[in-house]
Structure 1
Amino acid sequence: MVRRDGAEGPDGLAPRSRAPKTRPGTIAPAVRERIIALRRELQAAGAEAGPVTIAWHLEQEGHPAPSTATIRRILHAAGLINPAPQKRPRSSYIRFQADLPNECWQADITHWFLQAGIRVEILDFLDDHARYLLELRPVTAFTGPMVVTVMTELITRYVPPYSTLTDNGLVFTTRLARFKGARGGFEKLLAAHRITQKNGRPGHPQTQGKIERFHQTLKRWLKARPLPDTIEDLQTLLTEFQTWYNTARPYRSLGRRTPEQAYTAHPKATPTSTADTTEWRSRTDTVDKNGKVTLRYAGKLRHLGIGRSHVGTPVLLLIHDRDITVSSMNTGQIIAEFTIDPDKNYQPKKA
């Protein structure tokens, strides 16, 4: 102070700024502007635009990415974040994640609309470990056999997973159906490949939380684009989305890797079940006027030809997977035997 007083007089005693002369951690104006621009571009495209995603894009462009906390402060200062105090903190969630790719595939059906207002269903399959989007397919309405076809294609393309996780829709399971016993086509396909089937608790969509959260991302992306005219146009959009989702969208929980990077980083889990997966059940019926009874097998109604000589006879059907034994409930006599051909609706009895 004495030196300052001698050199500058009374003015040298005035308080001076204590700010550091250099700020090595200051964000360059160009990077700050790019962060704001990325936020707006990603939101306009219907994509995720949080700090983690913005940091990933900065790195891909060759910019030094600041911490996510710094990016959040920049976005707040620019008025680009709407406070949401009602949201639960991330630390309050209990997270579950498969240890390996193909350890669990989640599947569900959501919907979207065409330009004419027609409602279309979308079937999606998502790998639980990597969030890798395995399939997106739209049709007017999905049936059990359609879901079986898609699952068969995925098994061929990626090899069978260790398990699946779905809700209790009839295209996935018959366990809550009105009439118990018969397995659906999806269940039979999983049993044939020794794939463990898991279903969420009714009325508890949090069990399938990853795919439910995925639907938010999908629909936000679709809302940023005009409604398609046809299902084929929608499929084109979904294919574009699938590529973007798998290759250009990093995840915080995956160490800022994309789903494709996470899916290909580890060996794949495979079925290990050795339990007996054959089906045992029984049902009663009455031979109709055409000499037939009906049986639901693999999600389809099959017609079993008993013979006109047994019209009106009450019968008991004993089902052991594909083998069916039919006996008269009046006499206990076996009157017909069948081996179901899954490719046919009408089943002639064995000679």
Structure 2
Amino acid sequence: MGKHKNLVIVKAVIEQGLSVSQTARKYGISRQWVYTLLHRYQQHGPEALTTGSRTPTRHPHRTPGAVRERILALRSQLHTDGADAGAETIAWHLRNEGHHAPSKATIHRILRAAGLVTDEPRKRPKSSLRRFAASLPNETWQADITYWRLRTGMRVEILDFLDDHSRYLLSLQAHLPCTGATVVSTMHELIGIYGPPASTLTDNGLVFTSRLASRPGARNGFEILLATEGIQQKNGSPGHPQTQGKIERFHQTLKRWLAAQQPATSLGQLQDQLDEFRQWYNHHRPHRGIGRRTPSQAYTALPKATPETTPPGSYRTRIDTIDPYGKVTIRYAGKLRHLGIGRAYAGTDVLLLIDQNHVSTSSTETGEIIAEHRIDPDRDYQPRYNPE
């Protein structure tokens, strides 16, 4: 109903002398609406007769202006710093500053209203992902080498070690180049600081393993150091970088942060930036994968695993040799179970890690995981488990 008709209704009462009931019947409206229009006219004049929104004029749950401004400022600051700037991260920073953080959806709406959200293609739902993480700090260290360029264009190799359970960044060093001796000395230094881990997980680079060398034979320095310390060595399957998914994702965070800094002109300047990044990453950046804690908080929250210990009551292990038919046996629920590995592995010495009904089988020579099984208690023969 427009302003003109509302004015006619008011004039019918004021100038024509119709009663409120007569006016309501004449124009097919409620008596309450007639009273409302009369009140508006008497208080604010004809301009008040425009039908407005019925939305309440007061919003007790609306995000305070100061918090909205801080949300936008944090978004800008985090982007400038090369850090994660999503709604969950912004909420974490708000809480740390003593603000009452709105919900993730509310923060997202505020960012969208300010034109700070870019729509992305629909992603795979998180519920469809299978996450594998160590149960304790020092249960598995992941290591890898990535690359960065100085302002001069020179390519630098960056060696990093990451604790799988807590995402704690144990070491981050720039080298020209990173050699096998560098990896050994870094690992030896880390063992002196944090103690030896129960296992390591790397790709098949020659600085980590010689098992895929053109002339395989004697183990390299890193393999000898691990064997001396009793540390289990695990290597991802060739061409399957998802095995080292955590450290690959870490490299994205590192490079986004480096890209936001002034380009380093020397190896020493780049190392200074890496040291600053490590401090921020470990102690000031909330990590989604560990419940929005910092890696430092997660690393210090639980006792550390060692080569001689595994999570209490979680694992048992045994050494075996795959028989000529490609099988090994374990005892589960009081009965022997035959695990199918494959005839191609006949005669291979293997280590079996048994966690409840899950069995992971790896070569004792190379550390590569060659089969996984989910034990079905109603069966004797257990086929290989394919997580796909």
Q: TM-score, normalised by structure 2?
A: 0.67
Structure 1 residue 272 and structure 2 residue 272: aligned?
no
Structure 1 residue 187 and structure 2 residue 217: aligned?
no
Is the 1:167–1:200 Cα contact (8 Å) retained in structure 2?
A: yes
Q: What is aligned with 1:44?
A: 80
Measure, in 1, the Cα distance between the counterparts of 2:39 and 2:249. Answer: 66
Give, as a single letter, the amino acid of the residue that structure 1 aligns with 2:104: T
Q: What is aligned with 1:238?
A: 274
Q: What is aligned with 1:92?
A: 128
- Please give the secondary structure, in 1, of the residue aligned with 2:143: strand
Match runs of 1:1-351 below 5 Å: 2=31, 5=34, 18-20=54-56, 22-272=58-308
Higher relative contact order (CA 8 A, sep 6+): 1
Is the 1:52–1:251 Cα contact (8 Å) retained in structure 2?
A: no
1:110-159 CA-partner distances (Å, limit 9, x unpaired) = 01112211111000001111111000011111111110000000000000
Give, as a single letter, the amino acid of the residue that structure 1 aligns with 2:236: G
Change over 3 Å in CA distance of 1:33–1:176 after alignment to 2: same
Measure, in 2, the Cα distance between the counterparts of 1:222 and 1:113. Answer: 10
Deviation at 1:47, TM superposition (A): 1.0
1:168-219 CA-partner distances (Å, limit 9, x unpaired) = 0000011111222211111111111111111111111111001001001111
Deviation at 1:252, TM superposition (A): 2.2
Structure 1 runs (4+) deviating above 4 angstroms are 1-18, 273-276
Q: Which runs of 5+ in 2 are unaligned?
A: 1-29, 42-48, 310-316, 320-388
Deviation at 1:234, TM superposition (A): 0.9
Answer 1 or 2: which has greater helix percent: 2
Measure, in 2, the Cα distance between the counterparts of 1:50 and 1:40. Answer: 11
Give, as a single letter, the amino acid of the residue that structure 1 aligns with 2:231: I
Measure, in 2, the Cα distance between the counterparts of 1:2 and 1:221. Answer: 65
Give, as a single letter, the amino acid of the residue that structure 2 aligns with 1:187: E
Deviation at 1:88, TM superposition (A): 2.6
1:200-244 CA-partner distances (Å, limit 9, x unpaired) = 111111110010010011111111112212111111110000000
- Tell me which moved more, 99-108 or 81-90: 81-90
- Please give the secondary structure, in 1, of the residue aligned with 2:145: strand
1:26-75 CA-partner distances (Å, limit 9, x unpaired) = 10111111111111111111111111111111112111111112111111
CA RMSD of aligned residues (A): 2.3
- Please give the secondary structure, in 2, of the residue aligned with 1:198: strand
Is the 1:5–1:11 Cα contact (8 Å) retained in structure 2?
A: no
Measure, in 1, the Cα distance between the counterparts of 2:34 and 2:114. Answer: 44
Residues paired across the two proteins, number: 276
Measure, in 1, the Cα distance between the counterparts of 2:39 and 2:98. Answer: 51
Give, as a single letter, the amino acid of the residue that structure 2 aligns with 1:48: D
Measure, in 2, the Cα distance between the counterparts of 1:63 and 1:178. Answer: 59
Change over 3 Å in CA distance of 1:158–1:7 after alignment to 2: closer
- Please give the secondary structure, in 1, of the residue aligned with 2:214: coil
Identity score, percent: 61
- Please give the secondary structure, in 2, of the residue aligned with 1:69: helix
1:259-316 CA-partner distances (Å, limit 9, x unpaired) = 111111111111138989xxxxxxxxxxxxxxxxxxxxxxxxxxxxxxxxxxxxxxxx
Q: Which runs of 5+ in 1 are unaligned?
A: 277-351
Change over 3 Å in CA distance of 1:11–1:199 after alignment to 2: same
Q: What is aligned with 1:309?
A: none
Give, as a single letter, the amino acid of the residue that structure 2 aligns with 1:49: A
Q: What is aligned with 1:295?
A: none
